Structure 1
Amino acid sequence: MGCVGFDLDMTLIDPRPGMVAAMGQLAGETGYPLDGEYFAANLGPPLDHVLREFGTPEERIPELVARFRAIYPEVVVPSTVALPGATAALEAVHRLGGTTLVVTGKYEPNAALHVKALEFGVDSLVGDLWAAGKASALLEHGAIAYVGDYTGDMVGAKAAGALAVGVVTGPCSRQQLLDAGADVVFDSLAEFPDWLTATADGAREPGR
């Protein structure tokens, strides 16, 4: 077993209540129509992409991104919970002698706060990468598989030559993940340990 990569938002964690609150606070401070509910229901794209979608003036985006990141630790991290099967999935990789890697589009220092708060067994963390851009980290760490909830996660996995493992705990449907290149799709990470064990056992069979 080698390295297995995981996305963070809506794959390992559910930060949606805090995301709604943080975006609402940012909207209140700036007066811009920032829809926190929509944002939280469609986690995946980087924050600057989302702000553009909301019609935020381009010259204000760096300022708003910085402010959101500053709000984040006190508003989002405390209300975030681990998704079902997240801890067991990470433990399954370690149990089989592998290493775990989180690759996320989230600002890396804030992503690290989640890993610490939830006591996840993560060996390496890389932030600020999205979609095909995630391939660089997956290749660097020699990831054999990447698990995510977003179509861009499947694109990143395939770009790195890794198994693309989808979970439908985020905004994308099973069919959307399959269409984006998923090799296997689960309802949640609760299904992941058994699949990983069976996959590893198959790889150990003579002639495999």
Structure 2
Amino acid sequence: MIDEQKAILNYLSRRDLMSFSPVAALIDMDGTLYDSMGHHADAWYRLMTEEGIPTDHDEFYLYEGRTGVSTINLLFQRTFGHDATPEQAAELYHRKTLYFSAMPPVEPMPGAKRMVDLLMSRNITTVLVTGSGQNSLLNRLDADYPGAFPPDRRVTSRDVKHGKPNPEPFLKAMELVNAYPENCIAIDNAPLGVMSGHASGAFTIGVVTGPIPEQQLIDAGADIIYHSMPQLAERLPLLLDTFNTSI
């Protein structure tokens, strides 16, 4: 059972706050705004198989939120005991993006636009926080989510030194809109993203949109879990209203 009031009261207690009034929503892209993680997993698996690096296809869902270089180095360290050279990493990530771009276009995640539109209607500023640098999706944001994620409200892999699970991406997003953690909601579908949002101090929503079990999002520190983006969109008004009545 989803209990918004309990989740908010637990957050207030953990953060030693008397109130919480969200002014910004910091939102992941892959698996949250777009139903794209299957394509990413396919592209990564093809790339690493070609490189002779043993992997499991579904493990790439667990790496969602890492920068491309971080993912490459994780697998290089596991297989070869060292990082890829910067040149290797750049070439490998370029190939991965080509594989992804050659696949059929992905669709926006069902329920995501309804969620974004509702946040904007409540005057909550929306900010993109993604570990990706995939232009084939970034270039679609203005058309699929008009007005929600202008270029000056985007944090991508190009903008951070440390990707998720480090809190840097979400903290940088807060800086872009001059917001404090206790005034921000973080929304992510992956354990690393939830860990990043939790560590940033934001109220962190975990959304189940793929094969990752709910318990992994709970263990990563999600303040509340929704079982799909449509469920989050449906219950978001209740959550936002509860923020204003929880104390």
Measured against the shorter chain, the TM-score band is 0.7 to 0.9
TM superposition shift of 1:158: 2.1
Q: 2:36 aligns with which of 5, 12, 15?
A: 15
The unaligned stretches of length 5 or more in structure 1 are none
Give the number of the structure with larger relative contact order, counting CA–CA contacts within 8 Å between residues 6 or more apart: 2
Q: How does 1:186-201 map to 2 (within 5 A)?
A: 186-201=226-241
CA positional deviation for 1:47 = 2.1
Partner-residue secondary structure (3-state), 2:139: helix
Map 1:1-208 to 2 at 5 A.
Answer: 1-19=22-40, 22-23=43-44, 26=47, 31-33=50-52, 37-38=57-58, 41-44=61-64, 45-52=66-73, 53=75, 55=79, 58-59=84-85, 60-69=88-97, 71=98, 74-76=101-103, 78-107=104-133, 109-116=135-142, 118-119=144-145, 121-123=147-149, 124-128=153-157, 129-131=163-165, 132-140=167-175, 141=177, 142=179, 144-205=184-245, 208=247
- Please tell me whether the aligned partners of residues 29 and 130 of structure 2 are also in contact (alpha carbons under 8 angstroms): yes
Following the alignment from structure 1 to structure 2, what is the Cα–Cα distance between the partners of residues 164 and 133? 15
More strand by share: 1
Q: Is the 8 A contact 1:42 1:171 kept in 2?
A: no
Change (3 A) 1:155 1:40: closer
Paired residue total: 203
Structure 1 CA distance for aligned equivalents of residues 214 and 42 of structure 2: 28
Q: Deviations over 1:125-166 (max 9, x none)?
A: 210142222232233132610110112222222222211100
Identical counterparts, % of pairs? 22
What's the TM-score once normalised by structure 2's chain length?
0.69
Aligned Cα RMSD in Å?
A: 3.0
Unaligned runs of 5+ in 2: 1-21, 158-162
SS at match of 1:195: helix
